Structure 1
Amino acid sequence: MGTRWRIRKRTFAHVLTVDPVRQAVHARAAALNQPACLLTFRSPLDEIAGLLAGGRPFYKPDWSPNVMGMVLEPTTDWEEVGELLTESYCVLAPKRLAAQVGPPAPPTG
């Protein structure tokens, strides 16, 4: 179901299309009543409240303290997605590998 990117056996990103009837757990977490494309990723615990404060497209699944979700829509900011995925990788990667990636670059503009 969907596509996962992992470090060892732990998922740092997962993209899937959710049908509320067939994938009720994901649909409830994202408050969906129609099919949608979702991205789940890891976030540092101190950043979760900030992401949730903006509301949709972000949501908080309850299956892990540092897992966040995002509804992918036509208006999705792909630069932000890149930053979130880089950070998600760094949350799970061994320190040596995370150091090679470094923190996401600050937004330009």
Structure 2
Amino acid sequence: MAATPVRRLTDDVPAEVEARLRRMCLGLPDAYEERAWVGTRWRVRTRTFVHVLGIEDPVDGASVTMTFRAAGEELEALRHAGPPFRVLGWGRDAMGLTLGPDTDWDEVAELVVESYCVLAPKKLVALVDRPGPA
């Protein structure tokens, strides 16, 4: 009996994608970058607010995914949004976004800031310029 193909996590992230995320993430107070067990992650204190990695799926093929955190109404909306968003199945507020040629980088920038604000200490969140409620 043949083994079932398994999804594999990889470091295969295009340099331009990583560079774009790096600029967004490192622009936030006290944020820093480090290599993760696979891919690259950006953290505030010891908490990861963005992680980017490659995924090789035997059914869906290769993709690049950004994991991030969300809260409140935004989290609920993203949970039901469908592709390119997906619930990761770990962490009550963890989401994934498949990055590709059609990615809305303005939306990614908003998600990065919100993810940071979900995890950062309040004194650092107060330093972040973000729009208030509509």
Mapping of 1:16-95 within 5 angstroms?
16-20=53-57, 33-95=60-122
Deviations 1:74-95 (A, max 9, x none): 0000000000000000111110
Q: Deviations over 1:39-96 (max 9, x none)?
A: 0001014322211332100000111001110000100000000000000001111101
Shift of 1:20: 2.3
- Larger mean CA deviation between 52-61 and 96-105 belongs to 96-105
- Find the counterpart in structure 2 of residue 5 from structure 1: 42
Distance 1:103 1:69, change over 3 A: same
| RMSD of equivalent CA atoms | 1.8
Moved over 4 A (4+): none
Percent of residue pairs identical:
48
Mind listing any 5+ residue stretches in structure 1 that lack a counterpart? Answer: 22-31
Aligned counterpart, 2:26: none
- What secondary structure does 2:112 align onto? helix
Once the 2 structures are TM-superposed, how far is the Cα of residue 33 of structure 1 from its aligned partner?
Answer: 2.0
Which residue identity lines up with residue 111 of structure 2 in the other structure? L
CA contact (8 A) 1:83 1:105 kept: no
Q: TM-score, normalised by structure 2?
A: 0.65
1:99 aligns with 2:126: yes
The verdict on how the C-alpha distance between 1:105 and 1:79 changes in structure 2, with shifts beyond 3 A counting, is farther
**Structure 1-normalised TM-score?**
0.79
Q: Distance in 1 between matches of 2:127 and 2:111?
A: 16
Answer with 1 or 2: which has the greater Rg.
2
Structure 2 gap ranges (5+) = 1-37
Look up the SS of the partner of 1:48 in the other structure: helix
Larger helix fraction of residues: 1
